[in-house]
Amino acid sequence: MKVSEAKKVLIIRLSSLGDVLLATPVVRSLKKNYPDLTIDFFVKQNFEVAIRLNPNINSMIIYNDSPELATQLKENNYDLVIDLHNNFRTKKIVKQLGLPYYKFIKPNLEKFLLVHTKINLLKEKKPIPVRYAEVIPDFNLDDKGLELFIPDGIHSELEGLNNVVGFAPGAFHFTKRWLIEYYAELGKKLNEDGYTIAILGGESDKTICMDLQKMIPNSLDLSNNNNLFQTAAHIKNCEALICNDSGLMHTASAIGTPVIAIFGSTVREFGFAPYGIKSIVVENSELKCRPCTHIGKSKCPKGHFKCMKEITPDLLYEKFKKFLEDL
């Protein structure tokens, strides 16, 4: 079935924060092309906030492992399913629904070859939203970026302040984190230039954010217990966000804040660089061991961690100054 023939579509992307946000250009572009199309979004509870207020989505369907889930979905009378997750859970659900579907084909072989043999079949560096859109025949994205809608009434301590730079030092995997002492040194340099450093993160980042705040004079620790709307409001008041390859990188992209992203064990070819926003990716392209993973690791397999250690605070400082000049 063509999308143009459908009246009601279910889009599936269960997780994670970044991946759900990366699906928003598809949602918006579908609604633009087919204004009468009803779009529901199937997502895990932990990540529904990323699309909660998206005006292009009719309803959110929260994932659960109930045996009645497929029956409940069938009652919604979808014409078509677009599976942007395509794992064993979503494959089972799609099969149970028995509806026409499109599915995202993950480049698993290409990623395996790049990680383990350094044969690069992903040289085109297509962003994930573009790869998502390619699963739908005769469909193109618009020229806008990601979207995150912040509710009215969410205020930030940064409102009214000038020269604020956000730091998001966290990431789930160790090899995706720039060194905290490097963030601290960069923060001191920027502080001397008159910038206020706002340190941002979720519940799992609170310790690193607290430690970093102690190392940078006059900085603000604005980490919280995974309040995405509040964090997004803070990021919106920053001139730029300096961060790792993480969900907050995509959050900044979704609200229009320029991004400087530091990539260690991962590379842009996987498709997860900042999308649709003024940005740069800073990475050590000289290392033959990169990428060592497509998602991150708990430690450097080689033991030297040169992918991050050789990206010095002085280098980031120069990149930052040039980045602001080009804005």
Helix axes 228-236, 247-255, angle to 10 degrees: 60
Domains annotated on the chain, with CATH: 3-133 (3.40.50.2000), 164-326 (3.40.50.2000)
Instruction: Give residue 100's pLDDT band: very low, low, confident or very high (50, 70, 90).
Output: very high
Give the pLDDT confidence of 33-75 residue by residue, as tens digits: 999 999 999 999 999 999 999 999 999 999 998 889 999 999 9
User: What is the token pair recorded at 184?
Assistant: 């601290």
How far is residue 215's CA from residue 181's CA, in Å, rounded to a whole number? 8
Average pLDDT of 158-187?
97
Q: 């941002």: which residue's tokens?
A: 200
How far is residue 300's CA from residue 311's CA, in Å, rounded to a whole number? 15
pTM of the model: 0.96
pLDDT reported for residue 223: 98
Which residue from 285, 277, 284 is spatially nearest to 323, judged by alpha carbons? 277
Q: What DSSP line would sit under 273-293, residue for residue? A: S--SSSEEEEE-TT-TT--S-
Asked if residue 326 has pLDDT above 90, the reply is no
pLDDT reported for residue 327: 80
Pairing state between β 164-168 and 240-244: parallel
Give the pLDDT confidence of 248-304 residue by residue, as tens digits: 999 999 999 999 999 999 999 999 999 999 999 999 999 999 999 999 999 999 999
pLDDT reported for residue 234: 98
Residue 254 main-chain phi, psi, to 5 deg: -70, -20
Instruction: Give residue 178's pLDDT band: very low, low, confident or very high (50, 70, 90).
Output: very high
Give the pLDDT confidence of 190-203 residue by residue, as tens digits: 999 999 999 999 99
Asked if residue 146 has pLDDT above 90, the reply is yes
pLDDT reported for residue 125: 86
How far is residue 272's CA from residue 250's CA, in Å, rounded to a whole number? 9
Averaged pLDDT of the chain: 97
Which residue from 155, 124, 148 is spatially nearest to 18, judged by alpha carbons? 148
